[in-house]
Amino acid sequence: MTGEAATWTEQRAAELVAAIGEGTTESMAYATAFAARLRHPDGTVCFPQTVDWLRQRQWPDGSWGGAVPQPSDRLVSTLAAVVALADRPDPWARYAVQAGIGYVQRQPAAWRGAPHEMIAFELAVPHLLGEARERGLDLPYPEFDDLARARADKLARVPPDAWSSRPTPLLYSLEVLTGEFDAAPAGRFLSVNGSLGHSPPATAAYWAATGEPAALAYLDGLAAKSRDGGFPEVQPIATFETAWVLYLLQRVNLRPTTAWRHLATLRRQLVDTGLAAIDPGFPVPDSDDSAMVFNTLLGAGYDVGHRLGSLLAFEGDAWFSTFPYERGASVSANARVLEAFSHRPAGFPVQLAKLVRYLLGERRDGAWWQDKWHASAHYATAQVVFALGRVLPPGQLAGTWRWLVDGQRGDGSWGACGGTAEETAYAVLALDALSAYRPAPSTTFAAAAAYLREQVEADAYPELWIGKGLYTPHNVVRAAVLAGYAVAAGRGAE
């Protein structure tokens, strides 16, 4: 990388670290639809701007959801929007609802066999269909009978006292559980900011059921900060944003002086239990954020390795869970835990062997991985490469190297549904991590650098992160793109 390019990259990194705050995610259809339902006691709409947001962001095929078509995202987002707009008298709303219904009617089974499901998909779809049925909407209800059975089975496995005795991930999905649970007891777990699980839809449902002023104040605050009138998947996400941004920048030796303040904040979060959640105010810790905090701090030279044993709280027979009541394991979370334990390999030999066995067993075509928290195989593959590259001989990831090199598009990008900056960044970072096995051609990196240079300061990035719908944690994605550019520009000039 030339001196001018290095200076530019360092300046962008400093700006990005300076922008780390409470953690923000971009607006998305599912959350915005639940906010659009809310009414004051006098019947007026609480957030009229959300109605305009839904009006402006329906796709030509009648659906709502992320820019990269993903069937379960489009289904649950469309159902949420249709139900939110069904009671409105506006002619445009009636047309939008009919177009949304038409989308579901044309492809009710598109989500079957698709590689990803949204969070609580088996809870949300039957709930939204029940609300649509109450409104007389003409949807193919029998097509989803198996999801209704899956919902019933999932709820039957939840301990009777889970809702009221302690905070659980179920709080995050209150908006689709109001038929089974009284919302009021959940109030004991409101965060200091007035939210329920930092989830705008769950908090909206709680306020609608209880009228709690703190919950409405939280929603009002989100509305005031929204750049476009929509609502986000989750907010705040200070720990998630801080740890991911700093980790990604550290991978390419970018650590602005202002980063030390944020690193100290991450360190303080491990003091009590050795665990972390997506935000200091979030009530439920998880293995993914906890392991990323460890990896970020250890990478920066903090002596926190003696606390790694706290991650054993998530250990299962064959893998590590992310949250309680999880139906399936996360590849990226297990990779993150493996990377953390690899800093103290002598202390966790059994766990290291278990995690390696699990991750290799999840490998597709001997080359790549998919994950439950991100729609791109390039994201999952990069996280696994970062971890396995620390504990396996380089040659064992030869298939991954070939898959990455062969997968580059003509414009220098990577991506399954057209190239994206985020996926390109992960491919570049993974190839960089695999350089001990075999350096990728400099032309590969040069083409990627040319593509990424124009994307570092983009106003928005396609939604690829999996929540209740697809969403974008903007600063996290920007950090990945900047790190990818830094690597590509450096290696492309070699």
Instruction: Please report, as a single letter, which amino acid is at residue 88.
Output: R
**DSSP code, position 441:** P
pLDDT in the model for residue 493: 75
**DSSP code, position 67:** S
What pTM was estimated for this model as a whole?
A: 0.95
Shortest CA distance to 168 belongs to which of 189, 182, 198? Answer: 189
SS3 content of the chain, % helix, strand, coil (to 5): 55, 5, 40
Residue 470 has φ and ψ, to the nearest 5°, of -75, 145
Buried b (16+ CB within 10 A) or exposed e, 371-397: bbbbbbbbbbbbbbbbbbbebeeeeeb
Report the C-alpha gap between 156 and 286 in whole angstroms. Answer: 23
Q: Which residues pair with 414 in a beta bridge?
A: 420
pLDDT in the model for residue 315: 96
Type and span of the H or E element at 470: strand 470-471
For the record, the structure tokens of 443 come out as 């032309």
CB 26 within 8 A of CB 232: yes
Q: Which residues pair with 146 in a beta bridge?
A: none
**DSSP code, position 416:** B
Type and span of the H or E element at 224: helix 213-225
Report the C-alpha gap between 158 and 177 in whole angstroms. Answer: 12
pLDDT in the model for residue 325: 65
CB 139 within 8 A of CB 105: yes
Task: Report DSSP letters for 202-219, one per residue.
Answer: HHHHHHHHH--HHHHHHH
For the record, the structure tokens of 125 come out as 């779809």
**DSSP code, position 39:** B
Residue stretches of the chain with pLDDT short of 70: 1-2, 162-164, 325, 327
pLDDT in the model for residue 237: 96
For the record, the structure tokens of 396 come out as 């064992």
Instruction: Please report, as a single letter, which amino acid is at residue 113.
Output: G
Report the C-alpha gap between 198 and 239 in whole angstroms. Answer: 13
> What is the CB neighbour count within 10 angstroms for residue 299?
16
Q: Is the peptide bond before 236 cis (omega within 30 degrees of 0)?
A: yes
> What is the CB neighbour count within 10 angstroms for residue 438?
15
Residue 280 has φ and ψ, to the nearest 5°, of -55, -30
pLDDT in the model for residue 335: 98
Shortest CA distance to 342 belongs to which of 374, 367, 311? Answer: 311
Report the C-alpha gap between 295 and 14 in whole angstroms. Answer: 21
CB 193 within 8 A of CB 140: no
pLDDT in the model for residue 228: 96
Sequence-distant (≥ 6) Cβ neighbours of residue 31 within 8 angstroms: 199, 200, 201, 230, 231, 232, 233, 468, 469
Instruction: Measure CA 210 to chain center.
Output: 29
pLDDT in the model for residue 262: 96
For the record, the structure tokens of 390 come out as 């620390």
Report the C-alpha gap between 486 and 449 in whole angstroms. Answer: 8
Extended strands (E) in 12-152: none
Report the C-alpha gap between 225 and 223 in whole angstroms. Answer: 5
